[in-house]
Amino acid sequence: MSSGQWAVSGETMLVIKTPGEMQGWAQEQRRAGLRVGLVPTMGYLHAGHLSLVAEARRRCDAVAVSIFVNPVQFGPNEDFEKYPRDEARDLELCRGAGVAAVFLPAPAAMYAPDASVFVVEERLERGLCGARRPGHFRGVCTVVAKLFNLALPDVAVFGQKDFQQAAIICRMVRDLNFPVEVVVAPILREPDGLAMSSRNVYLSGDERQRALGLSRALAGAAEAVAAGPSPADAVRLRMAEVLERHALRVDYAEVVSAETLEPVAQASRGDVALVAAYCGKTRLIDNRVL
Ligand code: AMP
């Protein structure tokens, strides 16, 4: 991409569809001395995503949002095909949030048909969602590494909503020396406590009520350790009971160390409680630092 082709971040939001153009834009911002922020998403944006954009804007001069439903991170029986998409609405929300550029690549532009290099994190991904969704974090790490190489961000903002993902990205950045500062932003919730998620759109009225079981289970875990350390198995059991009482099918209910993501024997302040459960056909996750 020749220099000078891209306007430096200003009033109008650019919509970028190809990797080459994304790199060109990012190089142009950096040449102009601007700090670039990146917020990777799969689209169908909600206030949680926009809070990450606001955080990126506080720290950077030009913020790019990527919207890409990454086929490589979905398992064969997962919801890649029916994952909710609304490009026009997403672009409007990004415009309103002061985003400088939206990167909206087609899958074919991101992966060569014979792509054969992937990024694999080997420790933090062993439990939790990594154990339940084989190959998921290989897809996540690979696409995030690619997005870092395309958007050349100084800062990338991720949500604590995906706690394991954020930990794995931090590890990838450390171990592969990406020159990127990773910021992990808090979980935005609906007024009744449900963590915002693009997948909440799948929930029927009754399921939406039952989905409160996740945040309630986590509140129970926090309560259990409020007075001091508590045997972690009892906390796990208590969380599973709350999920089941809401007619949710438990995928996992765990308490782990925030650093290693290994299960702990005693649940204490600073550990993390995480739940994943099916509400009908929809798999929901949530977590809380105790
Ligand atoms: P997704 O589009 O679901 O892949 O999410 C894109 C980014 O937004 C990830 O870093 C998520 O952790 C983050 N995110 C999703 N939901 C929330 C939420 N409720 N609050 C804050 N961040 C979120």
**Residue of the nearest CA to atom 5 in ligand 1?**
41
Q: What is the largest CA-CA distance in the chain?
A: 62
Shortest-distance atom of ligand 1 to CA 157? 10
- In the reported structure, the alpha carbon of residue 224 is separated from the centroid of ligand 1 by a whole-number distance in angstroms of 27
Name residues whose C-beta falls within 8 Å of residue 2's C-beta, 6 or more positions apart in sequence: none
Told to judge if 49 belongs to the known catalytic residues of this protein, a careful annotator would answer yes
**Residue of the nearest CA to atom 7 in ligand 1?**
41
Pocket probe for ligand 1: among 69, 85, 162, 172, the residue whose CB has the most ligand atoms within 8 Å is: 162
Cβ(62)–Cβ(12) under 8 Å?
no
Pocket probe for ligand 1: among 161, 172, 173, 180, the residue whose CB has the most ligand atoms within 8 Å is: 161
Closest CA to 105 of 47, 52, 155, 147: 147
What is the dihedral angle through the alpha carbons of 186, 240, 209, 161, rounded to the nearest 10 degrees?
Answer: 20
Cβ(190)–Cβ(196) under 8 Å?
yes
- In the reported structure, the alpha carbon of residue 3 is separated from the centroid of ligand 1 by a whole-number distance in angstroms of 34
Cα–Cα distance for residue pair 199/277, rounded to 1 Å:
13
* Residuewise pLDDT in 10s, the chain (290 residues): 344 455 555 569 999 999 999 999 999 999 999 999 999 999 999 999 999 999 999 999 999 999 999 999 999 999 999 999 999 999 999 999 999 999 999 999 999 999 999 999 999 999 999 999 999 999 999 999 999 999 999 999 999 999 999 999 999 999 999 999 999 999 999 999 999 999 999 999 999 999 999 999 999 999 999 999 999 999 999 999 999 999 999 999 999 999 999 999 999 999 999 999 999 999 999 999 99
**Residue 145: strand, helix, or coil:** helix
Tell the residue number behind the tokens 């690979």, with chain if given.
142
**Residue of the nearest CA to atom 6 in ligand 1?**
41
**Residue 56: strand, helix, or coil:** helix
Shortest-distance atom of ligand 1 to CA 44? 2
Cα-Cα end-to-end distance for the chain: 48
Q: Can you state the percent helix, strand and coil of the chain, rounding each to 5?
A: 40, 20, 40
Ligand 1 neighbours by CB, cut-off 6 Å:
41-42, 48-49, 51-52, 158-159, 161-162, 185, 187-188, 195-198
What does the block give as tokens for 219? 């509140």
- In the reported structure, the alpha carbon of residue 48 is separated from the centroid of ligand 1 by a whole-number distance in angstroms of 6
